[in-house]
Each structure stands twice: as C-alpha cells, then as structure tokens.
Structure 1
Amino acid sequence: MTEPPTDSPGTTADDRRAASRGQAAAGVENRIETDDDWESTDGLEYEVVTTPVLVIGAGAAGARVAIELAESDVESLVIGKREHGDAHTTWAAGGVNAALGSLDPEDDWTVHAADTLTEGHHLNDPDAVELTAQEMPDRIHELADWGMSFDRTDEGDINQRYFGAQSYRRTCFVGDRTGEAMLETLIERARELAVPYRENVMITRLLSDGDRVDGAVGFDMETGEGLLFRTDHVVLAAGGFSALYHRHSSRDDENNGDGQALALEAGARLLDLEFVQFHPTGMVGKRYGEEWDGRLVTEAVRGEGGRLYNAEGERFMERYSPDQMELDARDVVARAIAREVREGRGTENGGVFLDISHRDAEYIRERLPSMVARFDSLGVDITEEPMTVAPTAHYTMGGVDIDFRTGQTGVEGLYAIGETVAGVHGANRLGGNSLAETVAIGAIVGEHVASAVTEADEDPNVTDGQRALAEREFQTLRALAVSDGTVTPTQLLEELGELLWDHAGILRNEAALTNGLAELEALRARTADLRVDGGLTSKSFEYAVDLSASLTVAEGLLRTALERTESRGAHYRMDFPETEPDWRVNLVLAADTDGLSISRRGVAEPSPAVREALEEGYELDYHHLE
C-alpha cells in the first residue's frame, strides 16, 4: 500500500523543484557574502563568495550534510553543476536499505552489516559499515517524518523488498523512484531551514597547499564568470566516476571523477579505484536506441521477481547461482550475463532477456511505475513481454580515503562524503546501500563539521595569495576556452570510454590493462591539440574541464587494477581468477612529484557483534519469491 501524495492536484516534481529553487535562492542573497566588483590587475573580473562551509555537490549526501549544519546553526553554501534538485540521486530508483524488520523481524543492523561486508568481500571499512547499518533505521524514520512517502504495508509499516544478496527484505522504497523522492524530501527540508545554494557552478580547483584548504575556484556555467569561494571548510560530495566508461547508467556530464581528482590534487589520498560495479541490467542501445544505451533497469525488477533468460529460453542463473538466482550479488549476475553473450547465447541486440510478465499486471504497475512508463514510451509493455538488458558501468566503490566518524581526508578543512569516497562498499556494493550511505554518513559528517566551525570561520578573510592562486586558475580556464586545435573534448572522452570498457571492463588481464595504460598516455598527449567550441559557457568547455579530471582518475583505475593480482568482487582478473587471502588489503593512491604512487594498507576487523552475524551465515533464499 502506498501513502497518498501530499501535493495539490497537478503539482509536479518540476513544480516542487522550481518553488524550492526560488525560496532557497533568497537565502543565498541574504546570508552569503559576495563581492561582485573585484577586478585583477590585468582586467580579469570575477566574483568572490565567502561562507563558513562550502558543500560541493547538491545530491543527497551534500544535502544531508547541509541540513545537519543548519540544524546546528552553522551556515553553509551548497553548490551543484545542474539546476537544484537535478542530481544523480534521482536516478537511484529501487530503494534504500535499513534493518527495520517490517516484514522480516529477524533482521537487525548486525545482519545488514554482515551482508554489506560479505558483498564487499571484506575490503570494506568495518567502522563505516557499522555506522551506516546502525544509523539507517533512524534516518529512514527521519525521512518519513520529513514527508518522504514510503510505500506502506496494509498495517501501515514502511514496506520493504528484496534486493540482491540481502538476507532479508530490507530495502525501503517509493515505487521505483526512491532516489527522486528522497532528494525532493531533503531539498524541502533544506528549504525549510533556509539553506543557501547556488546552481550551475563548476569547481575546477581547490585552494590548497597540500596540508589545508582555503576554498575553491570555479566558474558560473551560465555566464562564464569566474568564482572564488573563500572558506576554511570544504565538503566534497561530487559523486563517482562510472561515466568514464562507454556504457554507463549516468548522464554523460556527471560522475566523471571530478571529486576524486580535486581531492587528489589538493593532497588527499584515493582508495581502491579498481573496484567499479557493473550493474547486470542496463538497457541495450541496439534495441532501444543510443539515447537509452546503458540506462539502468532497476534491481527492483528482480527484487519483485523478474527472471533472466538467454536467447535459447534458458533461465541461465540456475547454472551460476541455483540458490540465489537473479538476486545473487551484482558482480556474479553481471559476469554470468557477459558469459552468456560471449558464448553465443545472447540476444541479437547483445544482451539477455529480463522478464517480469509472469507477475500480475496491476502489481507490476504499482511496484514499478517508472519502468512501466519508460518502456511503454519505447513501445514495450513489460507486463506482457521481456526487456533486453546487458551489464553497464553503474557505481564506483573506490574514491577519497576518509575517516568516517568525521569525514576528514587528512587535508585540514577538507571533508568528503557519498560516492566521492571509498570504504562503505569494499570490493562490491550491496544494492540499496548507496542511498543509505548518503544520509547515514552525511548526518555524522555534518555534525562533525558543525563542531569544527569557529567564530573566525564565519567571515574568512581573502588574502592576496589566495586571490593570486584563483586568478592563475581563471587565466588557465580562459586559455582553455579558446583552444583552437583539431580534436574535441567529446572525441577524447568517447575514446576514453571505449578504452576503459575494452581494457578495464568486467573481465580484465595484465595485457589488456598494460595496453590500456599505453593508450591512455597517447590519448593524454592529444589534449595538446584540443579544440573548444563556444567559449566558457559551452558544453564543449565543460567537457574540456571534465577531461583533465577523467584522465587522472582513469590512470589511477588502470594502475590499481594492474596492481591487484587477484579476483575479488567487481574486480575480475582472468589471469588471476582466485581470491587470495594475502590480497585483503586496500590500495592507496597518492600524487607526488613523480606522478601517482600506490601503497597497500591492511583492513580492520568488524566488531564482535558483526563477527557473530557473519558466522551465522545468513543468506537470501531466492525461492521465497517463487
């Protein structure tokens, strides 16, 4: 049973976002100090903005940090690359995990943590996992109190569904638009607290000497005007880097590694970049058109009983995972589909069939309304016929190395959160945990940052040195905007996507990774001949800025994948197919004068309570869905 919407008739998500933008924008004008008239000695005009805390990224993670700050009476400014409310969070459709026990009273936070560690092949930060699992019941009830309209049982409890590799029904949901509903709820709560935000802003560099940050530099994507943000506290919540791949479930202009590259350049370390999750069920462009290639078919389809068949009509997961079937771990299902296609049992469109038509049509429409509507627009009635799907790059477990009790990166004043960081998910993410991490850890990090802000941080001075660093960046951006070579950023990004798909995809080996690094260097050399069309406000310029970050993160991905000579979770080496106990280490990536360096770090052990849950060996029984 779904709770009725609270909006008035005819109110759309766009209407709600527009109202939120208008009200929050007033907060920016009233509370954030700006200097619109600054001009450098060479006539370069730019805007200076001072704020106690700058949150880079306006998705669920950034929003939850800002809410916690506001509730602690600490001002912040949230900035995003798109219109407010249009963040990648909205693409997380299927649900968010919390051990509520609505349908399975045996579930509790220790089993949630154990499932997360098992799915992560024990490379997770146990503290991060346990904090997330313990926090989530309260965060779910908090979201419900703030107006998030979770689907409910007949008894009025928050309903829960199965997701892959979960021992119990733990995934709370709003049909198949959970991420969108969550972000709308968080934005409305931030609006109530008058949290200022600024949209259509791209950050290109953090002001850092390697030991601490003093702010950030970027530009207004609509006007091209330079922006200097002066603050002693920066929170990176800029997403992951799955869009580096040719086939991916993101939009092309987000999740391109800018958060990780900004942190690395500022002096922070990155962790486990080799672990990229390929979701088993992305749409196949050859059937639905290139616009839809790689777009996610939510795991909720399989969580509600969807079945996978090859072109010969075989329900092939019976061969690979007879107990967990389609709801085995994402890496297992993705490799199974890849093998079916490679061995000639795929469809003519290069995928397999995902079929839920055996379920009652009204049930499908109630539980999966967005999927029904999407495929209906493409001439496919999923209540009667199967979808064609294939693996797609979906989520990156690697990212910035942080302390999860504070969000600190090791660079004073620099914090990170959400898919920008590594630690919660280990070698493979448990479905439904991405949204969980954003609000669970977001609240914790927000609380810590609030405690770190002092009276002196409320109106930080802008020094001549900081202006000089910013102006140097503005000059670099202006020069990039008028590049008049022969190769476009779009061309190079497309080639980078193909390179990673071919050399660091679902199946890897030493030769492919080594060749990938060589091709990457050749591609990087071609950036000297870049052509940018349209100036500072163009998509071409945005992609040119993205390209620098993407190349850095791609190199880190290839190097760590080459370094890890075993198979674990989402990282599968055909030349080293076994999981090796000695490789239960995290790979730490740092930037130094000689380039990128890699070191190894051991993984801590979970608490006794979680070890006990692991020893119990809880496991999903798929046949409950039969």
Structure 2
Amino acid sequence: METMETHAFDVLVLGSGGAGLRAAVEAASEGGVSVAIVGKSLLGKAHTVMAEGGAAASIGNVDAPDSWQTHFYDTMKSGHYINNYRTVEVFAKEAPARVLELEQWGAVFDRTPEGRIMQRAFGGHSFRRLAHIGDRTGMELLRTLQYKAISMDIKVFQEVTITRLLMDGSRVAGAMGYYRADGHFILLKAKAIVLATGGWGKVYKVTSNSWESTGDGAAMAYRIGADLKDMEMVQFHPTGMVWPPGVAGLLVTEGVRGEGGLLYNSEKERFMKRYDPERQELSTRDVVARSIFKEVQAGRGTPHGGAWLDISHKKADFIKQKLPGMYEQILTLGDIDITKQPFEVAPTCHYQMGGVQAHAETCATTVPGLFAAGEVACGLHGANRLGGNSLADILVFGRRAGIAARDYATSLKKAPEIDDTQVEAEVARILEPFNRPDGENPYAIHQELQEAMSTHAAIVRSEDDLKVGLNKILSLKERAKRMGIKGGRVYNPGWHAVFDVENMLLLSELIVRGALERKESRGGHWRSDYPDELPEMGKWNFVHQYSEDGDRITRVPVPEMPPELAEICARPVAPGREKVAGSSQVPPRKE
C-alpha cells in the first residue's frame, strides 16, 4: 500500500478562509483540544479576501436607530422568507459582538470622526450597517484571524486537496487527500470535522469566485449522507467587470454603490428608478441584477453587454480613500480611471445561498460529528443574500461551529475508527486517472459544464432550458468517468482538476434539479415560465438527499416563526425606520 502520512486530531477544520479560521480559533480557545486546519491554497489566500464591502452588524455607530430586530427584518425580507428564522435571529443578535471582537484582535476598521467603527450603506439594508476597511474588508478580516490562529496551538496544512470524508458507521471519522505539490497522501483522523470550504461559483463561466470555489466540501458531505438544501438559489452579483475580457466577472464591490455610485443604461437613464423607485441603486442584489439583465435584453445595454456604473461625480480624493482597491484594480486591469469616467458592469455568479443544511445554534449537519459554517452551509440567506451578511456570517457561525465541534469531540469516550478498506479504495480512486492517459480531458469537461450552466441555468431559467441543461450535465457525468491525465503526481494541475470537475458536476446537477422543482420566481431564482412569486411555494425548502439511485428531492416545510418574530416581519417598515424621515435607505439618495 502507498506510504500514508497520518495524523489524529480532536477537531479537524476543512477550509482556511474566514469561517474555518474562526472555527479553529474557537475550538482551540479552551486548551486541551487538538485542532488542525486544512487549506486547499496557502494560508491567507482564501476566497474571503474577495469580500470587499464590509461586515454587516447593527452596531449603530452611524445610524443609532439600528438594532438586531432591523437586521433580522432586512435579512428575512431579502431572503424572501425561506430562510431559517432561528439562524437569522442568532446571526442578527450576535453579529455586533463578533465584529467588535475582531477589532479587539487587531482589525483596523475605518473610523467615524468620533473614533468609532465607520459603517456604510449597502443594498437592502435599512441603515448604514457595514463595518469596513476601505474596500478590503475581507482581506483585513482574514489577516486578523490568521494572526490569531497562528498564535495558538493549531496545526495548519497548506495546499492539500481533500477528496473524501471517512466514516465510522454513521458518524464522520476523518478525511483523506493528498498534497498538491508532490501528490503524497495524507490521512487525517478526527473526532469532529468542521466544513468551511466555501462555494462553487466555478460551475459558471462568468464568476467573481476564485479557483478554489469548486464545491469540494458540499459534494463530499452529500456523498456521505448530509442533506443539502436550497441548491437552486444562486446569487448573481449585479456588478462584475465586463471589459476587458480578461477580467470579465471580476467583482466590483457593492461599496461603489454604497458610497454613491449610480447605474445608467446606454440612453443615460438611471434605470433603477423604474425598477425600485424607493431604494434605486441600493436595492437588493437579485433586483439590481435582473434589472441590468432586462435593460440589456431591451437593447439599452452598454457596448459590451452591461450597464454603466459611475461614481465620478464624487471627488477624486473621496473615491481613493473609500474605494482604494477598486480604483487601483480598475485602473490597472481595465485602464479606466473611475474618478473621471463610468465603467461597464454586468451580473456575475457570486454566491451560493444553498448548501449543507446546518443547525441554527450548533451548525451541526445531518451526519453526526460533521459541522458546517460559511458559504458551504445553508439556512441564513434564503433566496437572496444581503451584501455584507457573508463576512458577519463567517464570524458568527464559524465561532458556533468551533464551539459545537469541540463539545462533540470532548463528549466522545473514544475516537472513531477508520477501517483500512475505505482508505485503500480511496487511494485506488485517486490514482485511477493515471491509468487513462488518453482519457477525457478534465479541462474540456469543465469548459462544457460552464457553458451548459451559463446557457441553461443562469440568471434567467425555464423548464425547457433547465431540462436541456440537465441532459448535458448527465452526459458530462458519464464522460467524466473516463477522465484521464498524463504525467506524474508532482505539480500536476490536470490531476487536481479531475476531482474539482467531479464535485462541480454533482452540484450543478443539484442546482438544476432544484430549479426545476421550484416552479416560481423567488430571490435569486428567476423562472421566465413562472415569473411570479407564489405564496404556496414560499412554504417549502427543497432538500437533496443522496441515494444509490441518484438525487432524491423532498419538500420540507419552512420553519414557522414564533409570534414575536413574525410581528417584526409583519411591520410595514423596518423597526427603527419610523423614527427616520425619508426613504427606506439611510442616507437618502442624492441626485
């Protein structure tokens, strides 16, 4: 048998982004518990750095009437009420403490004149709520958590691909994979595992997601029996770069609109006044993305198929101070000075609202010993995520997953055991592509998958399109069984791509099957053949369960809110808004 590097830990965290680091820090915080983090990339390089605009928390430094109840109201409304209300309640109540905690650990936030954490406006939020560091908030969050983690007794494995979760009966017992650099195998035994592996935006051709976002954690969890939920709910961020082609899809932070950026069509009309007269550019992401799409379809798009985003009416010093990353990025990559001219934006695949079903308080999945936090988990965002909620999400539920995993691990009287047959079977599976040097090219299959998803299951969907897309995916899955690679195990990206493609094919199938089941339009899910949001459909989440015969979808009732929370959501305006004159956004939009 192959030489196997083997380790054992109480808590194993898969994913070295914000959620994974926060979980590891919490799991190790009381001592006596061995903790390890496994990252697909280098430490500090996770996709969290791409979250730029801020972390949403009702601290109330800029708009005093803000409260957890208002944040709860905004998040439930944005999610079109298929969120788990308890998950949202926990989140809204705890987000302020998690942001302040991050500051205590060394995060350097922008400041108000009084020296408090500055907060900016974002789409769908009733108050200025996003704590930020210019437009590099995710990078600062990751840096702070990284330094906190390396100051503790936490083992870090970098550039490791995990290919399978291992079991002891019905409970999780460890994970197996290999080092990306030289291909040698690693076996990680664990009493508890936290999944913090992020999303799967790379199933689409135009995406803001980085190369790591191939859905490894969700796919592996599904294969061992974890329930996945709301897979049809994919967020297309309204403002991805359009031109030049080499940066198509690259995220333009919502902070540009939060700081006063305006959207125009080719006729120089601020079209968001028609689609959402009250919130305009600060409407929710699903509304703005659909609005840009409709303008392009109506022939009012920009030369390269998008809309104009313009913040040049603001002073150059203001733009460079508030949006330094955007200024530098667009100038360097697009040769466009945003202090002087507008630039083209269009929707780009950005975030997965669906994922592994996770318990509101503990982040526990349906597999004992397995916990999930961050984008890989499902429950908080419903049908549409509010900007800024993702960074607060990873802080709140990263911490809770770390606590629950630690408690579970310490409650076990003995460590779970892994039989050799599981390991031997996985070694054979991992090496199998080398036996087919003339097999199917994984890059070609990935490209065809992206074309299929972008054509048949993207921002607008229909039954006919979805069925064509599903057939293409199923055909690609058959071809993927014959994927092969040339060369050896040292620095072989084609080998890595085999496992990424397998995971993306699986999750793409679930997205399409879920989209076929949800015969309505709701949030990020837009059906041209069912254009209305239907009250009856709003009573259900669609849950995916693995079986040997294929995916099994069941309707599960959306949890019913208790009266005190239902009363918050039933208000005609968000809590605290009755104290503020003007529109539902603070500050009011200025012409």
TM-score when normalising by structure 1: 0.90
C-alpha distance in 2, partners of 1:477/1:235? 23
Shift of 1:462: 5.4
- Which amino acid in the other structure matches residue 221 of structure 1? R
- The question of whether the paired residues in 2 share the 8 Å contact of 1:268 and 1:410 is answered with yes
The question of 1:516 aligning with 2:469 is answered yes
- Tell me what 2:486 maps to: 533
- Tell me what 1:12 maps to: none
The question of 1:401 aligning with 2:357 is answered yes
- Tell me what 1:28 maps to: none
C-alpha distance in 1, partners of 2:10/2:403? 14
Tell me the secondary structure at the aligned position of residue 429 of structure 1: coil
C-alpha distance in 2, partners of 1:455/1:267? 22
C-alpha distance in 2, partners of 1:213/1:108? 39
- Give 5+ residue unaligned stretches, structure 2: 575-582
- Tell me what 1:340 maps to: 295
- Which amino acid in the other structure matches residue 180 of structure 1? M
C-alpha distance in 2, partners of 1:456/1:308? 56
Shift of 1:614: 2.2
- Tell me what 1:412 maps to: 368
The question of 1:361 aligning with 2:316 is answered yes
Identity fraction in percent: 42
- The question of whether the paired residues in 2 share the 8 Å contact of 1:236 and 1:417 is answered with yes
Superimposed CA distance per residue, residues 88-127 of structure 1 (whole angstroms, 9 cap, x where no aligned partner): 0000000000001111111000110110000000000011
- Tell me what 2:143 maps to: 184
- Which amino acid in the other structure matches residue 556 of structure 2? R
- The question of whether the paired residues in 2 share the 8 Å contact of 1:272 and 1:586 is answered with yes
CA shift in 2, pair 1:534/1:297, >3 Å: farther
- Give 5+ residue unaligned stretches, structure 1: 1-39
Tell me the secondary structure at the aligned position of residue 549 of structure 1: helix
The question of 1:621 aligning with 2:585 is answered yes
- Tell me what 1:577 maps to: 531
CA shift in 2, pair 1:310/1:622, >3 Å: farther
Superimposed CA distance per residue, residues 390-435 of structure 1 (whole angstroms, 9 cap, x where no aligned partner): 0000000000011121121121111111101110000000110001
- Which amino acid in the other structure matches residue 611 of structure 1? A
The question of 1:224 aligning with 2:224 is answered no
- The question of whether the paired residues in 2 share the 8 Å contact of 1:72 and 1:447 is answered with no
Tell me the secondary structure at the aligned position of residue 548 of structure 1: helix
- Which amino acid in the other structure matches residue 241 of structure 1? W
- Tell me what 2:108 maps to: 149
Tell me the secondary structure at the aligned position of residue 554 of structure 1: helix
C-alpha distance in 1, partners of 2:336/2:435? 45
Tell me the secondary structure at the aligned position of residue 267 of structure 2: coil
C-alpha distance in 1, partners of 2:201/2:53? 19
Shift of 1:622: 6.5
- Which amino acid in the other structure matches residue 434 of structure 2? A
- The question of whether the paired residues in 1 share the 8 Å contact of 2:194 and 2:402 is answered with no
Shift of 1:265: 0.6
Tell me the secondary structure at the aligned position of residue 588 of structure 1: strand
- Which amino acid in the other structure matches residue 404 of structure 1? A
Tell me the secondary structure at the aligned position of residue 52 of structure 1: strand
- Which amino acid in the other structure matches residue 580 of structure 1? L
What is the correspondence of 1:200-239 to structure 2 with a 5 Å cutoff? 200-208=159-167, 211-239=170-198
TM-score when normalising by structure 2: 0.95
Shift of 1:611: 3.0
Superimposed CA distance per residue, residues 119-147 of structure 1 (whole angstroms, 9 cap, x where no aligned partner): 00000001110111111111111001001
- Tell me what 1:11 maps to: none
- Which amino acid in the other structure matches residue 187 of structure 1? Q
- Tell me what 1:323 maps to: 278
The question of 1:314 aligning with 2:269 is answered yes
Tell me the secondary structure at the aligned position of residue 191 of structure 2: coil
C-alpha distance in 1, partners of 2:488/2:516? 38
- Which amino acid in the other structure matches residue 250 of structure 1? N
- The question of whether the paired residues in 2 share the 8 Å contact of 1:283 and 1:388 is answered with yes
Tell me the secondary structure at the aligned position of residue 570 of structure 2: helix
- The question of whether the paired residues in 2 share the 8 Å contact of 1:131 and 1:441 is answered with no
- Tell me what 2:543 maps to: 588
- Which amino acid in the other structure matches residue 407 of structure 2? S
- Tell me what 1:289 maps to: 245
- The question of whether the paired residues in 2 share the 8 Å contact of 1:323 and 1:622 is answered with no
- Tell me what 2:580 maps to: none
CA shift in 2, pair 1:613/1:59, >3 Å: same
Shift of 1:530: 2.3
**Alpha-carbon RMSD:** 1.5
What is the correspondence of 1:70-469 to structure 2 with a 5 Å cutoff? 70-73=28-31, 74-208=33-167, 211-251=170-210, 253-284=211-242, 287-290=243-246, 292-377=247-332, 378-454=334-410, 460=415, 463=418, 465=419, 467-469=420-422
- The question of whether the paired residues in 1 share the 8 Å contact of 2:27 and 2:405 is answered with yes
C-alpha distance in 1, partners of 2:512/2:441? 23
C-alpha distance in 2, partners of 1:95/1:61? 15
Greater CA drift, 344-353 or 167-176: 344-353
Shift of 1:457: 7.2
Superimposed CA distance per residue, residues 315-335 of structure 1 (whole angstroms, 9 cap, x where no aligned partner): 111111111111101010000
